[in-house]
A and B are shown apart, each in its own frame.
Chain A
Amino acid sequence: MAKEFKTLVYRNEEIAKDIFDLKLSVPEDFNSVAGQFVMIGVNDSSKLLKRPISICECKDGILRLVFRIAGEGTKKLSLLKAGDEVTVLGPVGNGYPFKEGEDRKVLLLGGGIGIPPILGAEKALKNSAKVTSILGYRDEMVFLNADFERESFLTSDSCGVSVEEYASLSALERKNVQIKGNAVSVAKALELANLLDFSEYDIICACGPMPMLRAVKQLAAEKGIKAYISLEERMACGIGACLGCVCKTVKKDAHTNVNNARVCKEGPVFLAEDVEI
């Protein structure tokens, strides 16, 4: 059950340029699943609305949020120091369709600041036989990649080696080598290079910028795999009341009774084929 609470910053550090790793203490009954998010206040009375940030990880009473400075609110969050007080509402929303420790064969696709919840998903899938992550970055400035424990590929829009070159490297050499291309195009290239076999996965889970999510939706349709994607929209309440955050849906949504669904409540994770993006 979600609730609003005040809590203290445990640690806040810059892990790459403008990317912050914020750790907060949370109450014992804070139980979240990968893909859920929190609304966090920015300690500025002229900024009324809380900011939605995905849950990266939550364990031992510490909630980890990883965010990029995108405007004034996230700038304020970047200035938080250990011991500062913040207000948090959550966990809210529907996450990826599996529970902590479940055994599912999952292909995880993360792009940029969409990578934090994908890390959370990987951790939740610790007992799974087959989990592969493809992490897409803008450039050489990578973050969180070292926290992934299972098979993972780094890709970049602007730099890196070709899939052929990558395939020629030894497993050890591959560590931290980026492949050029976005997460989806690289996934297809890896398949051609026999480094990835889509039929080994039950589902795809993705989070990242909209062009990437569109590509994931198309990929899922081509490969006949269910893809779960995490959407973003501007939010006021975060709890399903204001109808500010909707996305278009293919079918009539049960709650709204029209063809759109609340990203904060029915989402942020949706089955790709259900939403018009």
Chain B
Amino acid sequence: MNTSVKLCDVVLKNPVMTASGTFGSGLEFAEYMDLNCLGAIVTKGVASVPWQGNNTPRIAETASGMLNAVGLQNPGVDLFVNRDLKELTKYDTNVIVNVCGHTTEEYLEVIERLNSEDIIKMFEINISCPNVKEGGVAFGTNPVLVEKITSDIKKLSKKPVIMKLTPNVTDITEIARAAEAGGADCVSLINTLTGMKIDIERRKCLLANKTGGLSGPAIKPVAVRMVYQVRKAVNIPIIGMGGITTSEDAIEFMMAGANAVAVGTANFITPKATVDIINGIEEFMQKHNIKDINEIVGCVE
């Protein structure tokens, strides 16, 4: 039985990775599960300098989901390299670093700094965070800007580049095509959907930032639809995510066209969510006599 998948020459022992921002640097979870079993760890978005993030409350629970407005708080690339990356070398899994910035220059500074770090297998570029005023989603909703920033990053990057797409657009295939045209090696989708929750007693938004990104099972059908659409629009590999909580969910994304999947909010439900999903995929393969997990990728017409 083969569970391994390939994303632009990077071999993952299984298609399960973590979704950026929900898994810290990975190390926070080492106490609760075996990081070595993961196809890849995708780290929290890192910028050229430390970011303070938004005010609290940053979290609001919603039906089968949650809103977050963390605002890409991060310790900056220097501390990230010297502390988190160093520690991650102890584990036998692929490390993918998620990169954020306010301007193209800021993204490029991070890439430049990280190009020489051998442990990093790929970069994931977050052009889709709804919780910061500049950068983030401001890039990700405009196909012209997406193509431009993708090609700028590709020129500099010594590693394969994943562009992370926002669902907060009318037509996600347009954005995916722009990323492909800009030279992206891979796309990942979806980031969170912009939402809001109001405290009716206080007549105020629950989140200090007013709006936040919706994630979790509540967004899964939207995410599956978008993966399906993007599969038909581009030829580069797709990392599917959005509400994946069980192995059945992961398989659904792969059948829709994802070559690999990422688990986000489910890590908060239980820190060993990824392990349960990896085991569940193997059981599904056994039960249905699937020899190679790649067989099911995009099998749905």
User: Which A residues are closer than 8 A to B by beta carbons?
Assistant: 1-4, 45-50, 87, 89, 233-247, 255-260
Contacts and interface: CB of A to CB of B under 8 A. Distances in A.
Nearest to B51: A258
Given A234-B59, A239-B271, A241-B28, A258 B53 contact: yes
A48 B61 contact: yes
B270 A87 contact: yes
B21 interface: yes
A260 B216 contact: no
A48 B243 CA distance: 11
B151 interface: no
A242 B21 contact: yes
Contacts of B56: 233-234, 244-247
Interface residues of B, number: 38
Contacts of B23: 241
B221 interface: no
Contacts of A2: 31-32
Given A48-B217, A257-B76, A244 B52 contact: no
Contacts of B32: 2-4, 239
Nearest to B44: A243
Contacts of A89: 271
Contacts of B50: 256-258
Interface stretch (B64-72, B134-142, B182-190, B232-240): B64-72
A244 B58 contact: yes
Contact of B267 (A1, A46, A240, A241): A241
Nearest to B58: A244
A48 B75 contact: no
A87 B76 CA distance: 35
Nearest to B69: A244
Contacts of A243: 21, 44, 53, 58, 70, 73
B271 A48 contact: no
A9 B14 CA distance: 37
Contacts of B21: 242-243
B59 A236 contact: yes
Interface string B40-83: 00001000001111001111110111101010010110010000
Given A87-B270, A234-B56, A244 B28 contact: no
B79 A257 contact: yes
Contacts of A241: 22-24, 28-29, 267
B52 A49 contact: no
Given A1-B31, A47-B61, A259-B52, A246 B271 contact: no
A204 to B, nearest CB: 25
Nearest to B75: A257
B91 interface: no
Contacts of B76: 257
A256 B270 contact: no
Nearest to B217: A48
Contacts of B70: 242-244
A89 B49 CA distance: 33
B52 A233 contact: no
Given A48-B269, A87-B270, A233-B57, 17 more contacts: A3-B32, A4-B272, A46-B63, A48-B64, A50-B269, A236-B59, A236-B66, A239-B31, A239-B271, A242-B22, A243-B53, A245-B58, A255-B75, A256-B50, A256-B73, A257-B76, A260-B53
A237 B68 CA distance: 12
B61 A49 contact: yes
Going nearest first, the 4 A-B pairs with the smallest beta carbon separation are A257-B75, A241-B24, A244-B59, A241-B28
Nearest to A234: B59
B212 to A, nearest CB: 10
Nearest to B26: A241
B75 to A, nearest CB: 3
Nearest to B72: A243
A87 B271 CA distance: 12
A48 B28 contact: no
A247 B23 CA distance: 20
Nearest to A246: B56
B57 A258 contact: no
B268 interface: yes
Contact of B68 (A236, A239, A258, A260): A236
A240 B75 CA distance: 14
B19 to A, nearest CB: 11
Interface in B239-275: 265, 267-272
A46 B245 CA distance: 12
Nearest to B269: A48
Contact of B58 (A46, A49, A234): A234
A256 B267 contact: no
Nearest to B28: A241
